[in-house]
Amino acid sequence: MVWERILLGLLIAGSASLFVHGLIQKIRLIRAGAPERQRTDQAGARLRRTLREILTQSRVIGGRPVVGVLHAVVFFGFLLFALESAEHFLKGFGLSFLGPLLGGALPAFRTVMAGVAVLVIVAISGLAFRRFALVRTSPDPRSWTSGLVALFIVLLMVTYLNGIRAVPATPQATWWLHAMILLAFPLLILRSKHFHIVTAPFTLFLRQERLGDYVPLDLEALAEAPEGQETTLGLETVGSLPWKMRLDFLTCVECRRCTDNCPAALSGNTDLSPRTFVLAGRKALTDCAPGDPVIGSVISEAALAFCVTCGACQEACPVGVEHLDVIVGAKRAQALATGRGVVAGSFFRSIETHGNALSRPRQERAALLDDLALPRFTGADDQWLLWLGCVWGFNRSQRSAVQAFSRVLDAAGVHYGVLQDEPCCGHHSRRQGEEAQFQDLARRSIDALRQSGARRIVTPCPHCLHTLRRDYLPLDGDFASLDLEIVHHSELLARLIRDGELELDRSGEDLPAAYHDPCYLARFEKTSDAPREALAAAGFTLRELPHRRERTLCCGGGAAGFAREQRVDRARRAEITASGAPLLITGCPECRMMLDATVDQTWDIAEAVAHAVRPRGGNGGTMYLSHPSTVDIEERILKMFALHPEDELQLLEIAGKSHISGRLDDLKHAADALVENGALHLTHRDGARYYGLGGFGG
């Protein structure tokens, strides 16, 4: 009827104009943001990645496979039904494009679409069940818009199925119901988290290609800015929120994946929830004045204090929200502009005074180099620069790891050396917002590297690795001319094993161990195969932790966590304990420091490999320690005495010379057993116990 067509035309025009009006308002909110970095470079690669992520739904399915697959069914149903929706409105005007387009194939197409409709009903019902019935896992059981959307989708599918029947029930009424829902949908999208249907392709396209890609503050320009000119030292006010961050806030689908992967939230902390600050940011765009502070309006001081900048939130987000820019931007405002709420202030002072994060006198590092007889870097072409980092350089409890790595390098015939003086790379200063200190330290490190003539660098510390590899180039364009190869020690170990440079003595051992993926190695540097390859070759049977590889869980050491009171390591410790492994292996000196004593023993990966490596040209005898509960310590003690037949040693000396670590009781038990069966002699002198092969006595 003509009046129906007129009414339909008016309704379509009304819905479209309301949608456009609402969309313009949202765009205004985004455009009011501060200028941003270049985000359209390498457009082809960005487009390919975006299409891949959307069409495979990889970011949605990853981490939540069941929910992700259900969402994917609804998503693809949505795409396919775009054709039928256009056809529906054309039919209202007596037109059709599917008929002429598909011809005789139209019935088959409709049969397929009927199947899709049933799948969509099942999928949306499943999602609604999870949201409204499984309230403990639901991200938001009170979301009325989600309920309405679920109802709309079910009604759309049911009315569609009715419409394609040979004899539809109440065809006119159901046709109009279908049309009215379609017309209401755009308005619902504008007013709910379903706005991501419009914006998510853009946030995904525009997002940083690399996690943790911070834009350096132009401190010189800021210092030279004329008086009265407005300058910003981070996210100080709501007005300083950049446009992409605003787009992110409006795109958030409220799924809570970020919070569900946050080590602080998982450890029971209620001050920090990435979803909460993203949604607070969305609210601030409309409710706050441009001059209102970000800290307080968007994110709290307590939340900032607990964040370890581990990136788990950002990595888990299905729509590419960049949480780290919010956190580091707000921390910069804290450290540089307001000076309020800074945590780990002692850390900054320690760096100023001692040049290291552990508040240790500089001469302690020199003493370590001498004690361990570490070769100095000379700049020879074939020499690797071993960049120790603060923890290996200053933490006495990690000497065994330094020693183990140097022994492995010796065993592989690797020419290496350390710098006499090694600056702090600045990693934690930057993540704590102290950009000025970071840039100062970075320049010192760049100068040291330039002067050293290094070409190849190996470091045990993923924080140093990431900073040297990624953070220096944007600061100093000439850094690229050094043409440095920078690798993590696990990568070098795996390479040496692969190339046959290290002889492994597995001795049939399958030592059960848990491996903790360090955030800056696995998530930021995407390196999780090399450590596993090295550990497998060394005979370890890994008990994989629930959060592993790129989805690893922070040990709590990020952003100078080891220097702060706020601890977020409970969740990770619980996972490690639950694995039942008596041995924990880490690929990061800071993780080793943070997680030490979670289980019987904690080793660096270098120690783990060292225990299975034979000295070059050696004829047996592992170089390093074994796990006391599973390997024959007695055999190791005898091997050690075979190399030192004249020695008479106390237990601690045996431990040092044979590189057996662990409980002294285990060692004593094994040594006494050897005495009992006559393999060793025991003597008491000056109240102390001495063991040896014999030929001495008191």
What does the binding site for ligand SF4 look like in residue numbers (CB under 6 A)?
Answer: 252-258, 261-264, 272, 274-275, 278, 307-313, 316-319, 321, 323, 327
Nearer to ligand SF4, 261 or 383 (CB): 261
Nearer to ligand SF4, 254 or 505 (CB): 254
What is the strand order of the sheet 681-685 is part of? 648-649, 688-692, 681-685
Structure tokens that stand for 366 in this block: 């020199």
Helix (H, G, I), strand (E, B) or coil at 384: strand
Q: How far is the CB of 258 from ligand SF4 (least distance, A)?
A: 3
Q: How far is the CB of 327 from ligand SF4 (least distance, A)?
A: 6
Contact 617, 599 (CB under 8 A): no
Q: What is the CB neighbour count within 10 angstroms for residue 668?
A: 14
CA distance 301 to 305: 6
Of 482, 540, 477, nearest to 514 by C-alpha is 540
Q: How far is the CB of 519 from ligand SF4 (least distance, A)?
A: 8
Nearer to ligand SF4, 174 or 552 (CB): 552
Q: What is the CB neighbour count within 10 angstroms for residue 441?
A: 22
CA distance between the termini of the chain: 117
CA distance 472 to 480: 9
CA-CA-CA-CA torsion sign (375, 378, 382, 388): positive
Nearer to ligand SF4, 312 or 563 (CB): 312
Where b means 16+ CB within 10 Å and e means fewer, 446-475 reads bebbeebebbebbbbbbbbbbbbbbbbeee
Kindly tell me the number of DSSP H helices and DSSP E strands found in the chain.
33, 11
Nearer to ligand SF4, 323 or 365 (CB): 323
Nearer to ligand SF4, 486 or 588 (CB): 588
Q: How far is the CB of 147 from ligand SF4 (least distance, A)?
A: 18
CA distance 350 to 663: 33
Contact 484, 606 (CB under 8 A): no
Q: How far is the CB of 329 from ligand SF4 (least distance, A)?
A: 13
Q: What is the CB neighbour count within 10 angstroms for residue 346?
A: 12
Q: How far is the CB of 252 from ligand SF4 (least distance, A)?
A: 3
Helix (H, G, I), strand (E, B) or coil at 363: helix
CA-CA-CA-CA torsion sign (51, 54, 58, 62): positive
* Residue 520: DSSP 8-state: I
Q: How far is the CB of 312 from ligand SF4 (least distance, A)?
A: 4
Nearer to ligand SF4, 236 or 248 (CB): 248
Of 467, 474, 513, nearest to 488 by C-alpha is 467
CA distance 301 to 277: 11
Nearer to ligand SF4, 131 or 275 (CB): 275
Nearer to ligand SF4, 307 or 482 (CB): 307
Nearer to ligand SF4, 594 or 680 (CB): 594
Residue labelled with tokens 């979670």: 598
User: What is the residue-wise DSSP string for 553-575?
Assistant: ---S-TTTGGGSS----HHHHHH
Q: What is the CB neighbour count within 10 angstroms for residue 611?
A: 29
Q: How far is the CB of 293 from ligand SF4 (least distance, A)?
A: 19
Q: How far is the CB of 63 from ligand SF4 (least distance, A)?
A: 10
Nearer to ligand SF4, 308 or 369 (CB): 308
Nearer to ligand SF4, 444 or 551 (CB): 551
Q: How far is the CB of 658 from ligand SF4 (least distance, A)?
A: 41
Residue labelled with tokens 């930021």: 524
Q: How far is the CB of 222 from ligand SF4 (least distance, A)?
A: 26
Q: How far is the CB of 328 from ligand SF4 (least distance, A)?
A: 9
